[in-house]
């Protein structure tokens, strides 16, 4: 069942078909011509009347065109977002447009757009994001845009006076403490670490071997660290990064044949897996009781396996290295249980089958987050503990190789926002 349907079916949205149409459009990115992909996204756009949803779909299309280096077409899409999207969409659309112009070498347009962002959208964090990326990746397009932002002279006092909010509106009052006003400028960055105690199951089918990871090996549960970070791009948008790695060692429970070589029961098995997410979240709904976010991104996975048997003539070994990249869609919701406790749940899902290659991803994470009530007791840095459960399944199939990896178990972690 399409996960998008679960949320877009709510009455505040305009149609049940938008989720399915968007899913089909995202699938088409892998193998369809650029023109066909654009038509698929247009079909998805026509399924909704919500400007925010239309803008979100157009951002997907613009990202695809940027990947294909279709700079002019990407600019047209960003211009459409500026015309048809919400006010909160405009800074991100302008930033995307600036990237496209920069790739074309049109520096005058880049300078004008950066000035527009800095002057007319002073509360967004895009400039700060570009500055931070300049430190992390000095040669990136973001670093170059950071230089454009830095070259913009400060606004003159008379210019600021035209758009300035009256002092009486800016000054904190008893009903609106200064800490609440400043809170919008805080907590752009969040980092977290979790210990994940997980069982391993699944199977690997490659080079003549079908190996059940739980039935055919003695590999047991392990506890590894899962790392995550997020950066608030605007009031509604976040950049999110997640990384998890597992290292397993064990022995075969039965004899197998791999790459035309036999391995007896008792042969050693080494299995290493790593998963890296690059994604975004978009705030859909927020109240004093909780919020909903739409998730989208790409998960990169790597699986390395080594079999080894000691023989009188020396060791016999065989290796397998598989890499899969799977896009995903999902939702994250949180519900405030008490002043210091929040229930958070997130699910990421995607399934595709194109040109002999297929993949399926399910990543479900639920946790209780507990800590001080920072709304009542603000602090520069916020610290939270988390206790939860996570289930992860990734299946990939390409050529004649197939693998399915399942992890599940409790999590315990720490998160900081600053």
Q: What is the pLDDT of residues 120-154, one digit of tens each?
A: 887 667 787 788 777 766 778 888 998 999 998 87
Q: What is the pLDDT of residues 23-33, one digit of tens each?
A: 677 777 766 88
Q: What is the pLDDT of residue 351?
A: 83
For residue 189, give every residue at least 6 positions away whose Cβ sits within 8 Å of its Cβ, in sequence order, or none: 229, 230, 231, 232, 417, 418
* Measured distance CA(1)–CA(20) in Å, rounded: 10
Neighbours of 58 (CB within 10 A): 22
- Residues 320, 305 contacting (CB under 8 angstroms): yes
- Residues 94, 78 contacting (CB under 8 angstroms): yes
* Measured distance CA(143)–CA(136) in Å, rounded: 9
Low-confidence ranges of the chain (pLDDT < 70): 1-19, 23, 30-31, 123-124, 136-137, 155-187, 374-378
**What is the domain partition of the chain in residue ranges?**
3-180, 183-417
Q: What is the pLDDT of residue 374?
A: 67
Q: What is the pLDDT of residue 228?
A: 95
For residue 179, give every residue at least 6 positions away whose Cβ sits within 8 Å of its Cβ, in sequence order, or none: 378
Q: What is the pLDDT of residue 17?
A: 66
Q: What is the pLDDT of residue 68?
A: 85
- Of the candidates 105, 117, 116, 118, the residue with the CA atom closest to the CA atom of residue 144: 105
CATH assignment of 183-417, given 3.20.20.140, 3.30.70.890, 2.40.128.90, 2.60.120.380? 2.40.128.90
Q: Does domain 3-180 have CATH number 1.25.40.10?
A: yes
Phi/psi-derived region of residue 208, left when phi > 0, alpha when psi is between -120 and 50, beta in every other case = left
Q: What is the pLDDT of residue 164?
A: 38
Q: Rounded to 5 degrees, what angle do the CA atoms 284, 184, 366 make? A: 45
Q: What is the pLDDT of residue 342?
A: 92
């Amino acid at each position: 069942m399409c996960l998008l349907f679960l949320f877009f079916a709510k009455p505040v949205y305009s149609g049940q078909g938008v989720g399915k149409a968007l899913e089909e459009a995202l699938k088409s990115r892998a193998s369809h011509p650029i023109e066909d992909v654009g038509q698929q996204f247009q079909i998805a756009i026509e399924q909704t009347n919500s400007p925010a949803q239309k803008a979100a779909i157009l951002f997907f299309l613009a990202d695809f065109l940027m990947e294909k280096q279709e700079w002019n077409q990407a600019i047209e899409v960003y211009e459409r977002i500026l015309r048809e999207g919400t006010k909160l969409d405009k800074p991100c659309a302008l930033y995307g447009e600036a990237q496209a112009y920069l790739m074309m070498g049109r520096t005058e347009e880049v300078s004008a757009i950066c000035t527009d962002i800095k002057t007319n959208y002073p509360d967004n964090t895009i400039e700060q994001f570009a500055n931070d990326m300049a430190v992390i990746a000095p040669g990136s397009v973001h670093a170059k845009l950071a230089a454009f932002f830095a070259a913009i002279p400060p606004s003159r006092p008379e210019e600021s006076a035209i758009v300035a909010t009256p002092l009486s509106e800016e000054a904190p009052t008893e009903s609106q403490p200064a800490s609440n006003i400043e809170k919008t400028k805080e907590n752009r960055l969040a980092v977290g670490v979790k210990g994940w105690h997980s069982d391993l199951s699944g199977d690997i089918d490659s080079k003549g071997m079908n190996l059940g990871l739980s039935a055919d090996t003695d590999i047991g549960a392990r506890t590894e660290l899962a790392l995550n970070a997020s950066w608030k791009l605007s009031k509604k948008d976040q950049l999110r990064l997640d990384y998890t790695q597992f290292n397993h060692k064990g022995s075969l429970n039965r004899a197998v044949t791999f790459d035309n070589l036999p391995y007896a029961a008792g042969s050693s098995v080494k299995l290493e897996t790593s998963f890296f997410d690059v994604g975004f979240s978009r705030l859909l709904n927020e109240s004093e009781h909780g919020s909903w976010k739409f998730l989208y991104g790409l998960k990169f996975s790597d699986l390395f396996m080594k079999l080894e048997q000691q023989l009188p003539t020396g060791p016999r070994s065989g290796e397998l290295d598989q890499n899969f990249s799977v896009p995903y869609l999902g939702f994250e919701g949180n519900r405030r249980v008490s002043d210091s406790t929040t229930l958070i749940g997130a699910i990421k899902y995607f399934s595709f089958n194109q040109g002999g290659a297929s993949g399926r991803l399910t990543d479900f994470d639920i946790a209780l987050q507990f800590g001080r009530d920072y709304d009542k007791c603000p602090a520069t840095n916020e610290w939270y503990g988390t206790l939860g459960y996570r289930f992860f399944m990734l299946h990939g199939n390409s050529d004649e190789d197939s693998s399915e990896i399942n992890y599940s178990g409790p999590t315990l972690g720490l998160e900081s926002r600053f």
